[in-house]
Amino acid sequence: MIPPLVVAVAVVAVAGILWKLIISSGENEKGVRRPPGPRGLPLVGYIPFLREDLHRQFTELGQKYGPIYRLRLGNKLATVISSPELVKEVLRDNDTIFSNRDITVASRIVTYDLNDVAWSRYGPLWRNLRKLFNREMLSHANLEASYNLRRDRVRKTVRDIYARNRTLIDLYDVALQVDIDVIINLIWGGRLDDAGRDKILSSLAPVVSDIIDSMTKPNLSDFFPLLARFDLQGIEKETRRLLHKIEEIIEHTIDERIENPFKKSEAEAIEKEKRTDFLQILVDLMLKENNDETFGKTHVKAMLIDNILVAGTDTSATTIEWVLTDLINHPKAMERVQEEIKKVVGMDAIVEESHTMKMDFLDAVVRESLRLHPIGPLLTPRTPSQTVRIGGYTIPKDSAVFLNIFSIQRDPKIWESPTEFRPERFLESAGKFDFHGNNFQYMPFGSGRRVCAGIPLAERMVKYIVATLVHSFDWKLPAGREKLDMADKMGMVLRKRSPLKAVACARLSNPQLYA
């Protein structure tokens, strides 16, 4: 019997030769002009030369080859774009053509074969899911109605930190815990007691970051599809294992909601508050549709797990960590934020979410932090549904297209002193840069049809949690430390390489404000 590894190598060789023949014939097509780019090795292309800091490596290659260049990654052709003008061609002029994601093995697993908002193919299903997500789950009315749920969990976090006064605290862990706790409340609403909530939180917290990591690990199965059946790195197996852990909680809850609808008293209370939790919205729609193809249990699980639990927690927690890191490293900016909050809130009251709408400098700090540390520095790669010309070059159908917003948001031709933390630049250009990608010089959440669907909740949560933490506490570095390490590490989310740890010292004079 031939060993599997030998079979895999043979398959790679044959696939590589066939692919090379296909590509070489495509190069000679009349009128085809390919972007420049570095040469790789036979069969594997540029894969052996990829670094962990892919966002920085792609920026360096852009400086050498220009704002559009190509890479061969195994059997996959990738194009990297790093100028606002060319991004505009992709996300505005040809947005429909580039409205599909570049699918990976792990993303297909987590989304139950592309049945969620983030990864589903552009078409009727995606439009229906997006409409449901924006108009029902994350509508202004529903977010306003569910504020008390967010407030309760944020205040609980403040109490917990106060109990650990003057001790070293991991702020990413704090932010992740409160984000997951808030999301749990938004999903389950008033159907959980404290014990049930704590049980779910303890089960989900260790899994969320791991499942994101599994979705971002370089996978040979993605570069060489013929190898997918062998799962040589075990990424498919690990992703399924992590997904099963979340499924054990979600599946049981969905079945429970179907079999045991709200009691009359619970329904009346919810109607009085004009609030419906996310899970009930999805279950009601599923029962109304009564059609697994239109909207079934698979869609409910995909939406809850990928769009809400995974996408809505780690990304926000990482943003909060970066914002607090920038503030602690820049004491004058921290003082200015605290002074602004003091004027809006006072020192004898607690921060409410509505207060943050009046905090212009805090808003500028968040925008500047997302400029320097965009959560998705290369966004999620797009794939064109047809061959198209961008910048005068031919981009083949079904190839991968990376949009290097990390490079764009640090481009010295666009930004003055681009590597410096200067929130004032967003006060000087008020209204020019929003979170919806209307200006292609700044788009931390993407742009076009596939712009991040969770912006309304993310913006509220990040500002509310940051404002609460810097108003309630002074944050000091451990003894002997003057500056925080700003090194980052690339994945689906751009995280700090070293977690942010600081000492919390209570600021408010009235202890009852921490109760």
Q: How far apart are CA 472 and CA 373, in angstroms?
A: 25
CA atoms within 13 A on the CB side of 450: 26
Tokens representing 59 are: 């920026």
Contact 189, 276 (CB under 8 A): yes
Residue 107 has pLDDT above 60, yes or no: yes
Q: What is the pTM of this model?
A: 0.90
Tokens representing 185 are: 């409340």
Contact 419, 56 (CB under 8 A): no
What pLDDT, on the 0 to 100 scale, is given for residue 2?
Answer: 32
Quote helix, strand, coil % in the chain, to nearest 5. Answer: 55, 10, 35
In the three-class reduction of DSSP (H, G, I as helix; E, B as strand; rest coil), residue 81 is classed as strand
Length of the chain equals 515
Q: What's the one-letter identity of residue 119?
A: W
Most confident of 87-91, 131-135, 450-454: 87-91
What CA dihedral angle connects 65, 69, 74 and 77, to 10 degrees? -170
Largest CA distance in the chain: 76
- Domains of the chain in sequence order: 124-514 (1.10.630.10)
Q: How far apart are CA 283 and CA 286, in angstroms?
A: 5
Residue 438 has pLDDT above 50, yes or no: yes
In the three-class reduction of DSSP (H, G, I as helix; E, B as strand; rest coil), residue 1 is classed as coil
Phi, psi of 120 (to 5 degrees): -60, 150
Mean residue pLDDT across the chain? 88
Most confident of 313-317, 360-364, 488-492: 360-364
Q: How far apart are CA 58 and CA 425, in angstroms?
A: 26
The better pLDDT of the pair 354, 249 is held by 354
Residue 16 has pLDDT above 60, yes or no: no
Residue 23 has pLDDT above 80, yes or no: no
